[in-house]
Amino acid sequence: MNIALIGYGKMGQIVHKVAQEKNFNIKSLIDSKNPEADFQEINAESLKDVDVCIDFTHPEVAVENIKQIANEGKNIVMATTGWLDRIEEVKQIVTEKQIGFLHASNFSLGVNIFFKLVKQAAQVMNEFEDYDIYSYEMHHNRKKDAPSGTALSIGEILLDKIERKNKLVLDRPEEKIKNSELHLSTIRGGDIPGTHVVGFDSSADTIELKHTARNRAGFALGSLVAAEWLHGKQGFFKAEDWMQF
């Protein structure tokens, strides 16, 4: 399997390093700004003999990248977040071009296990109304989307499994939040790879679930394993299709 890596910034370079360590074949490095990349543009030449592309770029160029890759008939692992407001447009592109497309808010194996644990905990806490729910996330000061895609996925799980919650509050509350609202808070600073917390709080005690990334290697390896899974497939897939839970 030949992989094209779209985006050769900090994250792309980590993916490349992990790929070399784990014997994944990176056929093409594509980045418009990094002179160490093989190519500056996504086109037939830069995607020649490529089976799957992995995109670690920026939200503002993600959909345009998808269009260009799809025009060349290549499968895509979209590891960039912050573009979901155009998801219907992307689904149409995937269908028309008959490619395989996999997106996830986070490709870390540990984070996807965390999603499952949050889902199970939320199902339990749905039966205990004395517990209120909150969530927060922390990332490095260079991250462009806020809250993180991972945090939004956690919020969707909580809203889906806890009947007394029906709305996420993402901004600073201007007044007391309603009992039906769930506050999801964002912190940006330093070089934090990523921390996500879900809390269940009552007058008697607090229960917290927490995932802390030590480095970005887990995200990198997950995207490569995802590319291996997507190889040869057609259709629009999400993390639960890849992880199968």
- Model pLDDT, residue 171: 86
Kindly report the average pLDDT of the chain as a whole number.
Answer: 94
Confidence of residue 109 (pLDDT cuts 50, 70, 90): confident
Segments of the chain assigned to CATH 3.40.50.720: 2-107+217-243
pLDDT computed for residue 81 by the predictor: 87
Residue that wins the pLDDT comparison between 129 and 144: 129
Where residue 218 falls among pLDDT bands split at 50, 70, 90?
confident
For residues 23 and 20, what is the distance between their CA atoms, to the nearest angstrom? 5
Query: Smallest Cα–Cα separation from 193: which of 152, 154, 150?
Result: 150
- Which residues are CB-neighbours of 11 under 8 A, at least 6 positions away? 56, 79, 216, 219, 220
DSSP per residue, 130-195:
T-EEEEEEEE-TT--SSS-HHHHHHHHHHHHH-TT--EEE-S--SSPPPTTEEEEEEEE-TT---E
- Asked if residue 159 lies in contact with residue 166, where contact means CB atoms within 8 angstroms, the answer is yes
Helix (H) or strand (E) holding 101: strand 100-103
For residue range 5-16, what is the model confidence (pLDDT) as tens digits? Answer: 999 999 999 999
Whole-angstrom Cα distance, residue 184 to residue 155? 7
Over its C-alpha atoms, the chain yields an Rg (Å, rounded) of 19
The number of residues in the chain equals 245
pLDDT bracket for residue 177 (50, 70, 90): very high
Task: List, by residue range, all CATH 3.30.360.10 domains of the chain.
Answer: 109-212
Active centre residues (catalytic): 139, 143
Look at residue 29 in the predicted model and tell me its pLDDT: 98
Neighbours of 74 (CB within 10 A): 19
**CATH code, 109-212:** 3.30.360.10
pTM, to two decimals: 0.77
Q: Are strands 235-237 and 25-30 parallel, antiparallel or unpaired?
A: unpaired
Sign of the C-alpha dihedral, residues 182, 170, 59, 69? positive
Whether 178 contacts 166, CB under 8 Å: no
What per-residue confidence (pLDDT) applies to 245?
53
Per-residue confidence band for 145, with pLDDT thresholds at 50, 70 and 90:
confident
Give the model's pLDDT for residue 8.
Answer: 96
Three-point CA angle 159, 161, 162, nearest 5°: 70
Instruction: Tell me the residue type at 226.
Output: A
Q: Region 55-79: what's the mean pLDDT?
A: 97
Would you tell me how many other CB atoms lie within 10 Å of the CB of residue 42? 25
Architecture category of domain 2-107+217-243 in CATH: 3-Layer(aba) Sandwich (3.40)
The closest of 130, 148, 150, 129 to 140, measured between CA atoms, is: 148
